[in-house]
Chain A
């Protein structure tokens, strides 16, 4: 049996190869991305467990360590507690450097007990005489970062707008730390805009047995802080979940597209061999045996695909090691369970993709199978009421057409829905900044707008520019909604700023002072809050004074408080996330943007209309969508190519007949290209519908869904259609070309 299966697979080498490739991309995606997620988790784990601390004290509901803030002075108080032996604050943040968009920065006090884990391999540590005498602020650089950035002791390192002197190179074995840098606490606080704040406290107890009593004491004394074991803390990081979610979304999509491809290709294999199967049945094979043969083929193909995928995943991780290492995505993190996971997925793919075709094959009546004329429905089906050869051909071969359409539609749909969501985000951003300001300003050199922090003194300098009429500072951040996994988007505006005017308050009033909040209608409904009640956010209480409606879904899912409250809330007093600038004369906008960007290198100004597009978050999302799109196109293209290849091969004799009747190569080619273009256009249309449906499905996702909304533009539809037609064209033209090259006699002899 195995021999027959192998022979069958080898007989159609191109098809088998394409199917294997399609499957392997799916498995490579799982391995590559899964490793990334694992590595990410491992990064946090390593960071926490390597600290040798017992407990971690942080801000609850913060999405990620880098967004947690705790007052620095609490450190002293902690140290005075009877159970505590050592305490160390730490700041963590992500910044951009010359060459890396996401660069981890850690800050520790010079005498922190945690620093002992940073084994200095070159140069010196902070607590040395040489460190004091170095020129500029000292920084310790991780070994991997040093290697990939080609830096050595004595070089300078630029983090956003600040320059540091590398005094030592360290290694901890943790991917985050080894690919990041360590600053002195006060330097990191300055860099990250966390004056007198830390991200968390590491605590070492005198005796681990005292944990319970200590825990009790802390929860009484600091009810608004969260105490957790290091392991527990590491597993609670929202970024890991987000990354895992992304991995599964991408992996799921790859599997879906790959699965449809698999099914398609096996089904074609069955069609193509209908007559052969009839003969097998006629010579006494049982339906079950046929079933196992076909199933065996698809399982074998998918397992091979899984194997190739492992290699591809490994290659991917190796090739992009220099970028991926910052997330812990190194080959070393390819773990056996992950490989097992990929293989089980691939196996399931093979079985699911193969079972229908196998079942169909086993159900073939020998008489009918032997009569089979290649592709037509055998007269069981009415003709499509109109349309030429291409239409009839697609209509009559309906199963295959449906599967191919499904493949294209999924591909196009995936791309379109992601595109739509990013576009929706841009659109929402634009809506938000649709104040009558001409210029928007954020901090320069940050990896995410969430990290943007502009000092109000800089704001003062901006408003002193002669062209500027007025400025509004705003704070913008996301927190986890208490008690649920959802997001709450907090915006801070000063009550008398021009920016706040745009909120359309439908109940109650606008905020007028501190400790007041107004929230979106959707959030009010989901929290079941009414004007006059109070809301607890990150352990502060706010009085709900108003409910507004907004066309931006995440504004609906968030709230607005005063600028001061928001600054305190995120622990960045006297800093704002962005400035909206109103000019005296809008005509000077471009010139003013240029002026601000040259005079104030700390900030990045853009025209309001371009601000969202230029936001690093959007750039990153777009890059991700592009990446996914390319993968989807690759997968969809492979599937399409495969199907068309089979369709054309199955019809080789038909092509021979056409050629014998005097059809030219060109005409044969034209016929098939017509067919595949038609398929492409149809696929594109179905894909657009699929994409819109998928975009809608995303919004049902529990954690972030409500904040997402898709927005589509005409060019996006055109692009989707183009992708589909391209897939159809490329998928169809090559096989058609190959078939038309065959001499007619050979085409006629084709078995």
Chain B
């Protein structure tokens, strides 16, 4: 299969004498439609990774493939960014002199007609629940509302990948929660891959996969809230679930599971 994101021995080194290995041999694969959180202490290279993935920054060595294309071989990185990637930043996100609708139109400016732009922009703002603030300037919006507009803008050119660097960093937990929920809905309905950097465990708990970084390396990578897992959780109160919880091996074997499978399921259900 083609991965939405694939990196091979990715390195990004700052400085020459006193060098900082912001990314140190990162190997990573992210499938289409995934919803990934990147966590890690400050300075561990999260933003750097996002920038390199979005072709804002170039790796010192190693390769990045986005949808199977080697970024080092992409000629027109500008249009690559415009069409394939959407960015959401923590701050300074919207152009202060333009309204919500116009801000969302900006990425489409060079790719579609004025009418199409306006239509799509309105639709996206509706999607993010901002249709009542179409003609407001950023200064007239709350922090959470600005980030919603930013999400709409990130989706403007139907990117296959959205990169968000601490999108909720500036929001309170209720707003942050809402925002992540929105992204997840979009992830499910549009099939867009989301990668977001966050320091917030609650935010991370809402995603489906958490990658941990430390000193430029990937130190952990686990799948959470996977559909299988959810199914099993739902099963918890069913007969089979009860049987697993109780360790009723007979009932389970009757259902066709072998002992090692039963052990794995037991482990998941205990969480």
A residues within 8 Å of B by Cβ? 371, 373-380, 383, 389, 392-393, 395-397, 653-654, 657-665, 667, 743-745, 748
A376 engages B82 (CB within 8 Å):
no
Closest B residue to A368 using CB positions: B139
Question: Which B residues are CB-close (under 8 A) to A375?
Answer: 96-97
Q: Is residue B194 contacting chain A, with contact meaning CB distance below 8 A?
A: no
A376 engages B96 (CB within 8 Å):
yes
B72 to chain A, nearest CB (A): 16
Tell me the B116-164 residues at the A interface (CB within 8 Å): 135-140, 153, 156-157
CA separation between A223 and B46, bound complex, in Å? Answer: 98
A721 to chain B, nearest CB (A): 26
CA separation between A182 and B49, bound complex, in Å? Answer: 85
Most buried by B among A371, A373, A389, A395: A373
Closest B residue to A750 using CB positions: B92
B56 engages A745 (CB within 8 Å):
yes
Closest B residue to A375 using CB positions: B96
Question: Which B residues are CB-close (under 8 A) to A654?
Answer: 92, 95-96
Q: Is residue B107 contacting chain A, with contact meaning CB distance below 8 A?
A: yes
Given A662-B81, A664-B110, A667-B109, A657-B92 contact (CB < 8 Å): yes
Q: Is residue B54 contacting chain A, with contact meaning CB distance below 8 A?
A: yes
Give a binary string over B202-236; 1 marks a CB under 8 Å from any A CB, 0 the rest. 00000000000000000000000000000000000
Could you list some 18 contacts between A and B, CB below 8 A? A373-B96, A375-B96, A376-B97, A376-B139, A379-B136, A379-B139, A389-B102, A392-B102, A396-B97, A657-B92, A661-B107, A661-B153, A662-B110, A663-B82, A663-B109, A663-B110, A667-B109, A667-B110
A748 engages B78 (CB within 8 Å):
no
Q: Is residue B99 contacting chain A, with contact meaning CB distance below 8 A?
A: yes
Q: Is residue B106 contacting chain A, with contact meaning CB distance below 8 A?
A: yes
Say which residue of A371, A377, A380, A659 sits within 8 Å of B78 (CB atoms): A659
Which 9 A-B residue pairings sit nearest by Cβ, starting from the closest?
A: A662-B82, A376-B96, A379-B140, A378-B139, A379-B139, A396-B97, A662-B81, A661-B107, A373-B96
CA separation between A661 and B156, bound complex, in Å? Answer: 10
A373 engages B92 (CB within 8 Å):
yes
Beyond contacts A374-B96, A376-B96, A389-B98: 9 other A-B pairs, Cβ-Cβ < 8 A, are: A373-B94, A377-B139, A379-B138, A392-B97, A657-B95, A659-B56, A662-B80, A662-B83, A744-B57
CA separation between A694 and B205, bound complex, in Å? Answer: 69
CA separation between A389 and B27, bound complex, in Å? Answer: 42
A745 engages B82 (CB within 8 Å):
no
Given A376-B138, A657-B92, A664-B110, A744-B56 contact (CB < 8 Å): yes
B96 engages A657 (CB within 8 Å):
no
Q: Is residue B175 contacting chain A, with contact meaning CB distance below 8 A?
A: no
Q: Is residue B238 contacting chain A, with contact meaning CB distance below 8 A?
A: no
Give a binary string over B166-196; 1 marks a CB under 8 Å from any A CB, 0 the rest. 0000000000000000000000000000000
A383 engages B135 (CB within 8 Å):
yes
Tell me the B53-93 residues at the A interface (CB within 8 Å): 54, 56-57, 78-83, 85-87, 89, 92-93
Question: Which B residues are CB-close (under 8 A) to A380?
Answer: 139
A662 engages B157 (CB within 8 Å):
yes
Give a binary string over B35-60; 1 marks a CB under 8 Å from any A CB, 0 the rest. 00000000000000001001011000
Most buried by A among B82, B83, B96, B109: B96
Question: Which B residues are CB-close (under 8 A) to A373?
Answer: 92, 94, 96, 138-139
Closest A residue to B81 using CB positions: A662
A493 to chain B, nearest CB (A): 66
Closest A residue to B154 using CB positions: A661
CA separation between A397 and B96, bound complex, in Å? Answer: 10
CA separation between A375 and B94, bound complex, in Å? Answer: 12
A643 to chain B, nearest CB (A): 16
Most buried by A among B51, B153, B157: B51
Closest A residue to B88 using CB positions: A660
B108 to chain A, nearest CB (A): 9
Given A379-B136, A379-B140, A664-B110, A389-B97 contact (CB < 8 Å): yes
Say which residue of A393, A657, A748 sits within 8 Å of B97 (CB atoms): A393
B138 engages A662 (CB within 8 Å):
no
A539 to chain B, nearest CB (A): 70
Question: Which A residues are CB-close (under 8 A) to B57?
Answer: 743-745
CA separation between A743 and B87, bound complex, in Å? Answer: 16
Given A376-B139, A745-B51, A392-B98 contact (CB < 8 Å): yes
CA separation between A745 and B22, bound complex, in Å? Answer: 14
Closest A residue to B80 using CB positions: A662
B80 engages A396 (CB within 8 Å):
no
B107 engages A662 (CB within 8 Å):
yes
Closest A residue to B93 using CB positions: A657
Question: Which A residues are CB-close (under 8 A) to B85?
Answer: 662
CA separation between A389 and B101, bound complex, in Å? Answer: 12
B137 engages A379 (CB within 8 Å):
yes
Question: Which B residues are CB-close (under 8 A) to A383?
Answer: 99, 135, 137
Say which residue of A395, A396, A661, A744 sits within 8 Å of B96 (CB atoms): A396
A644 to chain B, nearest CB (A): 16
CA separation between A371 and B99, bound complex, in Å? Answer: 17
Question: Which B residues are CB-close (under 8 A) to A378?
Answer: 96, 137, 139-140
Question: Which A residues are CB-close (under 8 A) to B106?
Answer: 658, 661, 663
A653 engages B81 (CB within 8 Å):
no
CA separation between A397 and B139, bound complex, in Å? Answer: 13
CA separation between A664 and B78, bound complex, in Å? Answer: 6
B42 to chain A, nearest CB (A): 15
Question: Which A residues are CB-close (under 8 A) to B156?
Answer: 661
CA separation between A660 and B79, bound complex, in Å? Answer: 10
B181 to chain A, nearest CB (A): 24
A318 to chain B, nearest CB (A): 47
Say which residue of A389, A392, A657 sits within 8 Å of B89 (CB atoms): A657
B55 to chain A, nearest CB (A): 9
A714 to chain B, nearest CB (A): 35
Question: Which B residues are CB-close (under 8 A) to A395?
Answer: 97
Most buried by B among A662, A663, A748: A662
Most buried by B among A371, A374, A376: A376
CA separation between A373 and B96, bound complex, in Å? Answer: 6
B269 to chain A, nearest CB (A): 43
Question: Which B residues are CB-close (under 8 A) to A377?
Answer: 137, 139
Question: Which A residues are CB-close (under 8 A) to B157?
Answer: 662
Say which residue of B54, B97, B98 sits within 8 Å of A660 (CB atoms): B54
CA separation between A364 and B50, bound complex, in Å? Answer: 35
Closest B residue to A397 using CB positions: B97
B87 engages A660 (CB within 8 Å):
yes
A647 to chain B, nearest CB (A): 11
CA separation between A174 and B142, bound complex, in Å? Answer: 75
CA separation between A404 and B156, bound complex, in Å? Answer: 35
CA separation between A659 and B81, bound complex, in Å? Answer: 8
Question: Which A residues are CB-close (under 8 A) to B110?
Answer: 662-664, 667
B83 engages A653 (CB within 8 Å):
no
Closest B residue to A380 using CB positions: B139
Question: Which A residues are CB-close (under 8 A) to B56?
Answer: 659-660, 743-745, 748
Closest A residue to B92 using CB positions: A653
Closest B residue to A395 using CB positions: B97
A355 to chain B, nearest CB (A): 26
